[in-house]
Amino acid sequence: MKLPVQYWFGGLGAAIECHRQGHDVEIYESFPELKELGDIISFGPNAGRIFHRWSGGSVSRRMRALSIDLRTYGFNIHKYDTGEIVVNQATPEYGEDAPNFNGHRGELHSVVFHYAKDELGIPIHLGHRIKTYFEEDDQAGIVLDSGEKIAGDVVLAADGVRSKARQTVLGYEDKPKSSGYAVWRAWFSNEDMLADPQTAHFCNNGDTFNGWIGPNMHFLFSTIKNGSDCCWVLTHPDAHDIDESWSFPGKLSEVLETLKDWDPMCARIVAKTPEAKLVDWKLVYRDPLPTWVSPKGRILLVGDAAHPFLPTSVQGATQALEDGVSIAVCLRRGGKEGVPTAVRAHEKIRYDRVRDTQKTGESTRDMWHKTDWDKVKENPELVKLPRQSWIFDHDAEKHAEEVYDEVVAGLTSAAK
């Protein structure tokens, strides 16, 4: 079975999982070369379980070495104005077979990219921009800007929040809209932090994680790689029109003005940031799509193309990986002659779980932004970052295997 898929974690993960399940996979991506872009990204243990199955755990061990280790430090949650630590949330111990990762997006992506390309030999075609998608009864494919057409049994479109494939799937243009929030974010080295006695302790203590929560905003700051690298994100209200773009160069003056009534430590950290490292990222929102599957069942939206997540869910990239695991199992179980049924079964298996997980991003954001500090004074546990077992304990591969036949039977019965 041949599958053209796309790049980044959702596409790479889907390609690797499809390769594991015996499918013939090729990746097409518009980026002309691999670059270690971005800042922090998080993967929960439900993603770690997936990574651990690759190459006998060697991939997850490489990723773990690049990730923050908070087993000693935990997560300090501060009140926004006084700076007092309200509660320290301990980092749970996860088994070696289900690790969690928080590291630089580009560095972790490089590990996965080279595993797919160099160890598995999956063809990755860079510098190939997709102009449009097409599907027929027995195949689907992509048309490149060059005019070249590439066909396969199914296309997995992991082309992000501005997915071109979405119009093919839905039959109409579904424009992204502002979530009402944006994130300033940065990743930089520790030199200026170390030079200031008031901020040096963050880096001298190795890996650390601190968060300040307050009215309609939250500021998260980490040191990583034993304190050598620093990163922060500030989620704040923003109603910018994202039709033009959703990522801009950030301005330190705007960040500092926004933080003027907060604990001075937040501004002190921000002031150490080289402005060239600052990004102003508008959070895109989409209502849940009615379907992720094209009319003939041969094009499937994967990851952000199907379901963009708010950062406060801490699950966006992980759910994209779960998509790849699920569709790979379904395609193997359905076989070459049953592609449309397998693709629709995947959607049925994943849809409710993804929707419910998406909601946690909104509930966590609102819990932090609308904190009742009198209640928190009585019970500091109220502001801890939720870690739901129904999310973290999920085994996407096992689940797809267990329910596939039942789901297909339901689809067949409904079609009669």
Per-residue pLDDT, averaged over 29-49, amounts to 82
Residue range 141-166, pLDDT digits in tens: 999 999 999 999 999 999 887 788 98
Whole-model pTM? 0.93
| Better-predicted residue by pLDDT, 313 or 82 | 82
Per-residue pLDDT, averaged over 110-126, amounts to 95
Q: Could you tell me the CA-to-CA distances from 345 to 69, 241, 323, 403 in Å, in that order? A: 38, 36, 12, 9
**What are the helix (H) ranges across 241-385?**
252-258, 264-271, 316-334, 339-369, 373-378
Our measurement of the distance from residue 174's CA atom to the centroid of its chain's CA atoms, rounded to an integer in Å, reads 21
Whole-number pLDDT of residue 4: 46
Q: Provide the residue type at 56 as one letter.
A: G
d(CA 227, CA 187): 12
Residue 243 — pLDDT band, cuts 50, 70, 90?
A: low
Strands laid side by side in the 75-79 sheet:
85-89, 75-79, 208-214, 217-224, 229-237, 177-189, 278-285, 247-249
- pLDDT averaged over every residue in the chain: 91
Contact 25, 122 (CB under 8 A): yes
Helix (H), strand (E) at residue 308: none
Whole-number pLDDT of residue 325: 98
Per-residue pLDDT, averaged over 220-229, amounts to 94
pLDDT at 300 over 60: yes
Q: Supply the residues annotated as catalytic.
A: 185
Residue range 172-202, pLDDT digits in tens: 877 766 778 889 999 999 999 999 999 999 9
DSSP 215: T
- DSSP bridge pairs for 229: 189, 224
Whole-number pLDDT of residue 47: 96
Residue 242 — pLDDT band, cuts 50, 70, 90?
A: low
Residue 246 — pLDDT band, cuts 50, 70, 90?
A: low
